[in-house]
Structure 1
Amino acid sequence: MDNLIIKPSYVTLFNCIGAACEDSCCSDWTITFDKKSYKNTIKNPQLAAIAKIAFVEIKTDADRWAQIKLNPQGTCPFVNEHKLCNIHAKAGEKALSDTCRTYPRTHNIFGGTKYESLSLSCPEVARLVLFNQDAFQFDVNTSGIKRQSSPSPLWLEKTYEYSLDLLINLGLDWQQALMAIGFLIKVSDQVRQDELPISEIDKRFQQLKLFAESKLITEQYQKIPYTPQPQMRAFLSVHDQLCKSHSRSLRPRFTSLNEAIALLCNEQNDYQIDALNNAWDEYAMPALVNHPDLFDRYILYSIYHNHFPFIDTQQPWVAFRLLVLDCFMVRCYLSAVAYKNKGLSESDIVMCFQIYHVVRQHQVKFSEGINETLQECGIDSIPAAMSLLKTAN
């Protein structure tokens, strides 16, 4: 039987907008060249002069043979005065390194099935995922490859499918859908550790459907208390790590976000979570009235893109907690920008999601660091995780 390729429409619809991009991947990124692309570039008579100053050989392996030395402005030397790539212009797309040719395209393979996706660290991808009405139409095709593959764990596949169902089909607000997914994750983790049979995942899913229909999940979410101190600690620590890790933290785009956050500091220049949460209720939510499914789309993207709850540690609880944290951080950024601008444009929304994911999707150490932060903040249960999303009692 042929293996499958699953592709959402946002992958098909994507086209690089080149010079029009507000945060080009040709600047402030680590750009590596494989050996073949490197050799071809330095031998190309139209590119050789630039290549002499553009490359630093690292020879880690054949896929990471050289690295671009960015100019003083933080831009790739091959970018021309029109903000377009000279390699692409003079030698064609096939001459690009694998890094430049594929970004922001990415994929996962589970049980022989290839799940194609795009990285939200690209502004144009964020725009498609968050706003294009056709973004989540899925095509399933055979790959033409009959290669034998190890099956994906059944607990993972069931949890992935049921998480999508809980988000999309039960009519829950996104926060309540996340909490339902958390209840599912708790059982999945026990199944993963052979503490419960696989049938318990099916049973829990059916229970959660009944709980949703009877409004019990809504009631349970409403009972979770507002706890500003853990929120404050989590936001301070994660945002600090983001600032230190972000390759563009001194560029105007990131600086504008920091300036928005600074407006909500107190007289001692301390961040105020109450002020951020008030800004969400007063400015951000009214501005998002035309985008009521914004976080539903983001969570749908995250579940599909990461094949949730897959994570390298194989601990579904960790994947769930990070997903909640992602929603919390983006919500805080949206709140700050909405307060500063007294509203939110589509560009503002794209910026908040995209800036965060430049680090979140590309730096493993950042994800490890924020997971440690959540543990230190006492975010070690479903109610504690969900309390990050409460903005008032």
Structure 2
Amino acid sequence: MEDIVIIEPAFLNQFQCVGSACIDHCCKGWEIELDEPTVTRYMTSENIEIRHIAAEKIVTTQASHTSWGKILRQSNGNCAFLDKDRLCKVHKTLGEKSLSTTCALYPRIYASYKYEIRSNLTLSCPEAARLLLTTPDAMLFSEKIKQNPHALDSPEIFQEDRLLNLMCSHIINSCDENIEEGLYGIIKLIQYREEILEGDGFVENLMVYFEGVQDAIKNGVIRRQVEDLPTDYHLQSNLLLHLQKYLGTKEEGRGGNILLTYVQKLNLLHKDEDSGANTAVQSFQQLNKIWHEKAASWLRERHFLLSNYMQYRIYEDFFPFKKGRSPISNLHFLLSEWFLLKCLITASVELDTSMEEADVINIIYSYHSVTRHDKNAEDLLLAEVNKSNFSHGLNLLCILK
């Protein structure tokens, strides 16, 4: 027998579907795939209504055992099995065990490795996003051991990779609301890791460097280093324009209308040189001022909010090793998304009469809803980032100012 470690963040165990009270339920706007047993169960159900809906609204594709069919949406975008109270007819009449694998699992997600399962919730679910962002200890982890006859048929985690992932998470956690300080420490750690990668005593040297970063955070050295970073509004504005262009392609899909309202606010405040108004650089200077004078102070009162989010991202992505990309490339991705979400939050702070936690929840969940269910989204974002000068050398640090 093999020991399989199952890791769970605290907010996963706190999750309960809120059903019809959800602000943007998961049974709308998405094409829902069904596995073969589910298609058969619905098509042959003893419940006349379920059988009738299945005959009219399920298209059999037989693409694979797990993707045997799909549910055609109604004209309003809802799943055909959703009733007028926005509740699932299958769940109500046949019970939870009759749900398809997709419906039964969502928003739970699992990343499997040879001796480990990393459990999580996807933030495309508004309630999952709310729990993560508003619960102080949402990213406290628990572990349990499950015995399996054999190791899982999944990749193995190298201990050096696990160590770096944990280091990055600890750095963010130690900074509370001062996310820029944590990101600065992560940038330095990953750059150092690249320098010593082929050297002797790799793990020992990396551990010593990590402990030095932690000490520099505690004694205020990194805070002063961040404050002393050069300001490059041209670089930041150029990057943001490319990210706004990226957002312009990501408005469709569930959550798209919500995201669009915040994107429009950002577009009002940050305009390019062809707009006939202030230049993009001047617009960004004003946006940066709003962040420091309004948004940052509001977030300091909720110090766990963005810290939880960044810890989540590091855990979810097994940062910095996602999708086989290089750690530096994943660093560019993480920083760029942080920068974009920060700017969306800032625009909302400026243009709304008051800033509410609901705004941050809406921004996070709608962004994840639109991007995390699109397999091309990350590559498209990185393509826009690469068109700017952000990813070159020390420009990484300028984004933190």
TM-score (norm 1): 0.90
1:84 is the counterpart of 2:87: yes
1:230-245 map, 5 Å: 230-245=235-250
Shift of 1:282: 3.7
Partner of 2:180: 175
1:105-144 map, 5 Å: 105-144=108-147
Shift of 1:291: 0.9
Partner of 1:29: 30
Partner of 2:12: 11
In structure 1, stretches of 5+ residues that fail to align are none
Partner of 1:166: 171
Partner of 1:305: 316
Q: Bigger CA drift: 82-91 or 234-243?
A: 234-243
Alpha carbons of 1:50 and 1:118: their partners in 2 closer, same or farther (altered >3 Å)? same
Contact 2:24–2:126 (Cα < 8 Å) also in 1: yes
Contact 2:255–2:369 (Cα < 8 Å) also in 1: no
Give the whole-Å Cα distance in 1 for the aligned partners of 2:255 and 2:307.
31
Alpha carbons of 1:36 and 1:291: their partners in 2 closer, same or farther (altered >3 Å)? same
Q: Which amino acid aligns with 2:110?
A: H
Q: Which amino acid aligns with 1:322?
A: F
Contact 1:288–1:344 (Cα < 8 Å) also in 2: no
Partner of 2:51: 48
Contact 2:255–2:366 (Cα < 8 Å) also in 1: no
1:374 is the counterpart of 2:385: yes
1:184 is the counterpart of 2:192: no
Give the whole-Å Cα distance in 1 for the aligned partners of 2:15 and 2:360.
18
Shift of 1:314: 4.0
Give the whole-Å Cα distance in 1 for the aligned partners of 2:261 and 2:22.
17
Q: Deviations over 1:364-385 (max 9, x none)?
A: 3111111122222122256422
Contact 1:5–1:115 (Cα < 8 Å) also in 2: yes
Q: % of aligned pairs identical? A: 23
For residue 155 of structure 1, give the secondary structure of its aligned residue in structure 2.
helix
Give the whole-Å Cα distance in 1 for the aligned partners of 2:392 and 2:219.
24
Contact 2:247–2:263 (Cα < 8 Å) also in 1: no
1:352 is the counterpart of 2:377: no
Aligned residue-pair number: 389
Give the whole-Å Cα distance in 2 for the aligned partners of 1:131 and 1:171.
14
Give the whole-Å Cα distance in 2 for the aligned partners of 1:140 and 1:303.
18
Alpha carbons of 1:243 and 1:31: their partners in 2 closer, same or farther (altered >3 Å)? farther
For residue 249 of structure 2, give the secondary structure of its aligned residue in structure 1.
helix
1:95 is the counterpart of 2:98: yes
Q: Which amino acid aligns with 2:216?
A: F
Q: Which amino acid aligns with 2:268?
A: L
RMSD: 2.5
Give the whole-Å Cα distance in 2 for the aligned partners of 1:372 and 1:191.
28
Give the whole-Å Cα distance in 2 for the aligned partners of 1:55 and 1:249.
20
Partner of 2:40: 39
Residue number among 266, 269, 274 corresponding to 2:285 in the alignment? 274
Q: Which amino acid aligns with 1:119?
A: T
Alpha carbons of 1:27 and 1:382: their partners in 2 closer, same or farther (altered >3 Å)? farther
For residue 287 of structure 1, give the secondary structure of its aligned residue in structure 2.
helix
In structure 2, stretches of 5+ residues that fail to align are none
Residue number among 182, 202, 206 corresponding to 1:201 in the alignment? 206
Q: Which amino acid aligns with 1:95?
A: S
Q: Which amino acid aligns with 1:85?
A: C
Shift of 1:252: 4.4
1:321 is the counterpart of 2:332: yes
Give the whole-Å Cα distance in 2 for the aligned partners of 1:89 and 1:213.
53
Contact 1:182–1:382 (Cα < 8 Å) also in 2: no
Give the whole-Å Cα distance in 1 for the aligned partners of 2:254 and 2:157.
39
